[in-house]
Amino acid sequence: MSCDLDESVIKKIIRKIGQECTAQGQTVSETLVAFMVKAVVLDPVNDFHVDQSPTEEDVQSLIQLCVTRLLDTTNPSLSTIKMQVYFDMNYANRAELLREQCHVMEGRLAPVVRDITQSCPRVQEEMENVYQKIVSYVLLSSGLGSPTDIEAVREVAAALQSVFPQTEMITFISLSKKNKEQQLRNFAMLVTGIRLYNKECGKGGSGIDDLPAILNEAIPSATRTVDECLNTCHMLAHQYTALLESTQEDPQRYTQLSSLKLKEALFNVRQYEAFLCILLSDAITSAQEVKKMNVQFAATMEQLKNTVQDKVAIDTKEVFPLFVALSNLWSGFQDEILLLSFLTNMTNNLQQFSEIQSQLFPEEVLTSLLEGVTVKSDEERIRETMGTRVNVSDFKNQEWLFPETTDNFDQLLIQYHGFCAHAIGVKGLTLPGNPAIGILKHKERCYVFSSKEAAYIFAEDPDKFIQLNVEKAKEHAELIQLLELHHQFEYLFPRAQDRNRDKSLIKLTKKCDSSTQTDTHILPPTIVTSYEWNEWELRRKAIKLANLRRKLTHAMQTDLSHMRRENSTQVYLPKDVSTQTKRDNSSNVPRPQIFLEGLRGGSSPTTHMVKVDLTRAVDET
């Protein structure tokens, strides 16, 4: 089985195995099949050679062995591998889950945001339609109520009207697309804060659940569920370990229990325990975050009440930041609800992979097997070895770490998930290691042990026992994930075989990202622009220079070209000049006033007319 096996051949094998399992009524994922192929190839019992190209017979044998293992539902090893694949493909930490939820929410709101930011309303009716879309966006973005809830829509519209009246729509439309989106986010936070404040005052709150109360009740319940599962795991792990230790002391008992797959059951329980510890840690983190947010929310609400009181008008600079703070805290509560739902689903779905324990070892069977066997818990084993410690002077070339001599002792990355490095390969047991005995640092990796004797034996030849652990992982492929041995088996198949590389079962070892910064252009630039690295370019320039030395430059003029020259003339631009040729003037002359007397005649036959001139002289006017 060549390690550089063509990717298309691997995919063909995986597809063939999946088809045969489906034909026999068992549906399996490609990731599970890929890991099973790896497990079968690694198992030395199957005698596949990774340094040789596979024959057609090898491929058919590989397919048949994988199908047989995948259909063996009574094997705890298969349940463990399924559990590992499920957890690896579905689990996400807090940051990843919240980031994914944010992307989902942005995708849901994208059509509404696009309609708002790209619209250019002209008339009043179009303005009102855009405003209603903003109301819908604010309601959907806050998650406080349904768009079909008339009362919730009215509350949102009223709150939005108080911070963004319709008369400001013209200003909003004139903004750029980026500024519009920012304004929409601001509106959503302000309206959410206003509605939360109104709910606290008893003036609204339609469709708003009491998330703090729900979380204060749900988180302890979820934590208790995980704790109960963990206690069951601990009990089974301790019992299986005691039974396996008894078989090593009594050959007759080994013959009796060798067919019960106790080791596989132990590995299944230990893996289930490891995953539950991760979920419990997340639940504890959620409880701490909720407790902190409850205090902040109550303090912010009280500050807002003191600021508002019964005032008619309030400065927006005082209350708007408080509304935004309430909105952000409420978003935190919503995030915790999402995380709690995720953790609950993961806990419930993981239980199916441990059901095989009750099938293989019912309570009455396990009780009968444990008769006369002393069962020790992990805590008891550690307490028994608390008084012992490795003597550093017994080792010349080994480095031992102790709490009083090592900084950040509790944060050291222990190999094999904290299990005894000696017991895994020699006894096939996952015994808890006690760091107080001493941590062996070998080739930049740290190892712990369950007893002082195990530490001394391992330190004599660490590479030998490390290889024994690798061989044990080849026999039981589920140990690769449980003991975090991915770096030992990266060579087998290319990571490209997985559909989702980011969630591949074979994860890289933990690394630390670091960066350094240097000044740009410390020294002045010394770039020679005439430099040529190409030898042939230098030859061309040399030939050109050699030819120029034997050339002369001539110039001549012909009848057709002697008048072709560039001429230029200068002229004076016209000036703006104006003259006045006419003057408007006026004068005032006396009005003529002349009267005639005697025109009608009189008693005498002769008419005598008298002319009287009353016109004023010119010099009098």
For 479, counting Cβ atoms within 10 Å of its Cβ (0-12 exposed, 13-18 middle, 19+ buried), the class is buried
Spatial separation of the C-alpha atoms in residues 2 and 458, rounded to whole Å: 33
- pLDDT recorded at residue 124: 86
The secondary structure of 595-608 as a DSSP string is EEE-TT--SSSS--
Question: For residues 308 and 319, what is the distance between their CA atoms, to the nearest angstrom?
Answer: 8
Q: Which residue type is seen at 564?
A: R
Q: Residues of the chain whose pLDDT is less than 50?
A: 1-4, 493-510
**pLDDT of res. 528:** 82
- Residue 418 backbone class (left: φ over 0; alpha: ψ -120 to 50; beta: rest): left
The residue among 302, 267, 248 whose CA lies nearest residue 481 is 267
Q: What is the four-CA torsion angle of 610, 614, 619, 620, rounded to 10 degrees?
A: 150
CB 361, CB 266: distance < 8 Å: no
**Alpha-carbon gap, residue 231 to 373, rounded angstroms:** 20
Copy the structure tokens of residue 64.
């048949």
| Cα distance between residue 59 and residue 10, in whole Å | 10
Looking at residue 4, its pLDDT comes to 45
pTM attached to this predicted model: 0.73
- Residue whose tokens read 């990202």: 513
DSSP state of 443: T
Instruction: Express each pLDDT in 261-277 by its tens digit.
Output: 888 999 999 999 999 99
Predicted local distance difference test score (pLDDT) of residue 50: 64
Contact 477, 48 (CB under 8 A): no
b/e sequence 259-284, b meaning 16+ C-beta within 10 Å: ebbbbbbbbbbbbbbbbbeebbebbe
The whole-number pLDDT of residue 497 equals: 37
Instruction: Note whether 128 and 166 are within 8 A (CB).
Output: yes
> 419: which strand partners?
432
State the Cα–Cα distance between residues 129 and 368, nearest whole angstrom. 76
211-249 vs 316-350: helix axis angle to the nearest 10?
A: 30
Angle (nearest 5°) at CA 470 between 45 and 406 = 165
Residue in this structure with the two tokens 């005698």, named with its chain if needed? 47
Could you count the other beta carbons within 10 Å of the beta carbon of residue 82? 20
Residue 612 in tokens: 């009287």
The candidate with the shortest Cα–Cα distance to 432, out of 232, 239, 270, 247, is 270
Q: Exposure pattern of 45-61 as b/e (b: 16+ CB <10 Å)?
A: eeebeeeeebeeebbeb
CA–CA distances in Å: residue 132 to residues 67, 467, 479: 59, 69, 58
**For residue 306, what are the CA distances in angstroms to 319, 447, 463, 488?**
10, 58, 69, 63
pLDDT at position 506: 35
The length of the chain is 621
